[in-house]
Amino acid sequence: MAVVSTPTTLTRALSAMDNAEVLRIRNDFPVLNQTVNGRPLIYLDSGATSQNPLSVIEAEQEFYEQRNAAVHRGAHHLAVEATEVFEDARQTVADFVGAAYEEIVWTSNATEGLNVISYALSNAALWAAQGRGDARLRDLALGPGDEIVVTEMEHHANLIPWQELAYRTGATLRHIPLDDAGVLRMDEAAEIVGERTRLLAFTHASNVLGTINPVSDLVTLARRAGALVVLDACQSAPHLALDVKQLDVDFAVFSGHKMLGPTGVGVLYGKQELLDVLPPVQTGGSMITTVTMERAEYLPAPQRFEAGTQKISQAVALAAAVNYLTETGIDRVHRWESGLGQRMVAGLEAIDGIRVLGPAAGQDRIGLAAFDVAGVHAHDVGQFLDARGIAVRVGHHCAQPLHRRLGLTATTRASAYLYNTTDDVDEFLDAVSGVRAYFRA
């Protein structure tokens, strides 16, 4: 699909977002217009799940009111219309991340996307062992002596599927360690990613540290080793311009609900030549060409990985979310959120007894900050903030090994999105500055 540059989009591309625009944006998000514990809600937990603009909620409702039908089957009018909007949604998402239409597979969430890759790869080993598939498939089969490499900062969803893949195939799981500041040890990475490495999985942006990892350096290491690259784009796709072709990753996953879309839909990107060769993970309806009582032939991607009735209304609503981000300008969103992230870190570092995880103020980070409050458990911090209407995440953020590496069990995380103002951040900082006194720390 061609991108049409209208005078409006051109102007927007040049102008920075400001609080006035954010307040207009906020009007599009009904859930944000409420009070919590007598205070206006300040939602700083978008890293866990984002809120939905009216256009997304209406897209899902409109689908059910006007077009609901099974897709890819049936010759009737509704079925045709449902199939059209469902596949248009795929194109919208593909355009958003620079992928081809056939390379976008719907999943339930990013976790499922990672598990699909993991199981498709172990199925490749099973198929190869039984002489199924061709030489390209045998190239993808992992076995004893092969290595899978992750990093120490991964979300559990980008760690456990690889632990299990290693277990199923006999491959070995290794990881790139972090330094004390929570930065990837690239010197060690160059040693660890070697000729035995068959797959390198890492996060684009850390859900705890806020770091944006050096994708191209890591991809270069993987290419040198002949390894596949899996990118966890959960914290990047919603917040910055992601181009999977430019990054040259083999697979990427992200979730709809973290990018203004509904829950229940996620995206798996895979290079077409890989997706078409890998065995399916779930089998059944909608993903076959010919079925006999003995065996079946499978469709190419994306249908190959979309067995059964899909999340149709959710995909349609996710496309509306992508349109919302595109119309606002994802680069503008990224710059605005980076500013909020910097404001958080600078403010937090100025409060006595606060230790911010990840890059220091002034260094690149996405719009989130996780921190430890000396003498106060994260749960208590979260409760204290909630009493002021401020929603944050507390706990290990599904990254236990990372917390253990930093000598912590639980932290508090504030994560911003395009609907947060600098006032939100200032209110949050003001509240945090009162935490230690309240709990006598």
Partner 1 sequence: MSLDQLYQQIILDHSKARHGSGLAETAAPDGASTGQSHQLNPVCGDEVTLRVAVDHGTVTQLAWDGAGCSISMASASVLSELAEGMTVDELRSVIGNFREVLRSRGKIPADPEILGDAAAFEGVARYAARVKCAMISWVAAEDALNQAA
Residues that are catalytic: 398
Nearest distance, CB of residue 408 and partner 1, angstroms: 9
Instruction: Considering the complex, state which of residue 295 and residue 440 has its C-beta at the smaller distance from partner 1.
Output: 440
Nearest distance, CB of residue 434 and partner 1, angstroms: 11
214 binds partner 1 (CB under 8 A): no
Instruction: Considering the complex, state which of residue 26 and residue 396 has its C-beta at the smaller distance from partner 1.
Output: 396
| Separation CA 227–CA 14 (nearest Å) | 39
Nearest distance, CB of residue 38 and partner 1, angstroms: 9
Residues facing residue 174 across a β-bridge? 149
156 binds partner 1 (CB under 8 A): no
Over the Cα atoms of the chain, what is R_g?
22
What would the two tokens of residue 179 be? 């330094």
136 binds partner 1 (CB under 8 A): no
DSSP-derived 3-state class of residue 9: helix
438 binds partner 1 (CB under 8 A): yes
CB-count burial class (<10 Å; 0-12, 13-18, 19+) for 129: exposed
Instruction: Considering the complex, state which of residue 384 and residue 417 has its C-beta at the smaller distance from partner 1.
Output: 384
Q: What residues numbered 381-420 form the site for partner 1, per CB under 8 A?
A: 383-384, 387, 394-396, 403, 409-410
Instruction: Considering the complex, state which of residue 30 and residue 434 has its C-beta at the smaller distance from partner 1.
Output: 434
Sign of CA pseudo-dihedral 136, 139, 140, 141: positive
From residue 246, give the alpha-carbon distance in Å to each of 54, 210, 219, 234.
32, 22, 11, 18
Using CB under 8 A as the binding criterion, the count of chain residues that bind partner 1 stands at 17
Q: What residues numbered 343-382 form the site for partner 1, per CB under 8 A?
A: 376-380
What would the two tokens of residue 384 be? 């204290």
Q: How far is C-alpha 66 from the geometric centre of its chain's CA atoms?
A: 30
Nearest distance, CB of residue 8 and partner 1, angstroms: 44
Q: Could you tell me where the DSSP H helices lie in 272-388?
A: 272-275, 312-328, 330-349, 378-386
Q: How far is C-alpha 71 from the geometric centre of its chain's CA atoms?
A: 26
Nearest distance, CB of residue 387 and partner 1, angstroms: 4
Residues binding partner 1 (CB under 8 A): 376-380, 383-384, 387, 394-396, 403, 409-410, 438-440
